[in-house]
Chain A
Amino acid sequence: MISRARFSALAAASGVCLLALSACYQSPGVTIFEPGVYKGARDPLLAKERSPKQQQRLQKRFELVQTDR
């Protein structure tokens, strides 16, 4: 005869096993990979570059430091 304590330990262990097994789920959905499309994080510089103010700053800097000597 199984003692009450042993029974509850077994029940807990089987519960943990069931929980672990339930995590082994494989999604049937297909991940479509688009070649040639950037997959990384978005660079905040892209939005900044579009502002005319930033373009003017870079143009001003170019005239300041790249002028011929």
Chain B
Amino acid sequence: MARMKFLCDAERCIECNACVTACKNANDVPWGVNRRRVVTLKDGEPGEKSISVACMHCTDAPCAAVCPVDCFYTTDDGIVLHDKDLCIGCGYCFYACPFGAPQYPQKEAFAVRGKMDKCTFCAGGPLPDDSDAEYAEYGSNRIAEGKLPLCAEMCSTKALLAGDGDAVADIYRKRVMKRGGRPQTWGWERAYLTSAPGSKS
């Protein structure tokens, strides 16, 4: 049985935010909610790095541990999902999550929080697969269709990988072996600090 995981290769992410757009488009994510975000460190400085972050579908999910209504469940593939009919929007999962994945749409006046919304690994929720009700509440169910999350599938640099954790780790391991450390093929050093390959200076 696969163990579904995301992995973002910070050396490849170009902060294009296409994963964020793809997620919003595929799942019809409401205004004000971002299931996926691109976080950039050292923005505009040498050594700038970006990483795409969403729910990491933790093996021992802290959000599920703190939920007072026990609305979380984990599929056999390790995807952490929740039932919005049970969720009371208390926000405990937001405080427990180290990645800031749970989001709350503002549905009423006076900033009253709606039901929690988060990345579903494009696996929908506890409603009939690919039904209109499931799409309206949780977004698309690409896993039931035999597809992987759209954010990773359309990543142009293949920085974002999604799938069985072992297969993802294999790809990443091969990349690291090939790079032999931090690559400077298109990096700051190549552009500004060193001379072009083959030049004498």
Contacts and interface: CB of A to CB of B under 8 A. Distances in A.
**Contact count band on A:** 20 to 34
B174 A68 contact: yes
B167 interface: yes
Contact of B143 (A37, A58, A68): A58
Interface in B123-168: 123-129, 141, 143-144, 146-148, 152-153, 157-158, 161-164, 167-168
**Contact count band on B:** 35 or more
B70 A35 contact: yes
Contacts of A59: 2, 164, 167
Contact of B86 (A39, A57, A61, A69): A39
Interface string A20-51: 00000000000000011111111111101110
Contact of A45 (B65, B141, B148): B141
Nearest to B153: A65
B69 interface: yes
B148 A40 contact: no
A3 interface: no
Taking each of B82, B148, B152, which has the highest tally of chain A beta carbons within 10 Å of its own beta carbon? Answer: B148
Interface of B: 1-2, 64-65, 69-73, 75-77, 81-83, 85-86, 123-129, 141, 143-144, 146-148, 152-153, 157-158, 161-164, 167-168, 171, 174-175
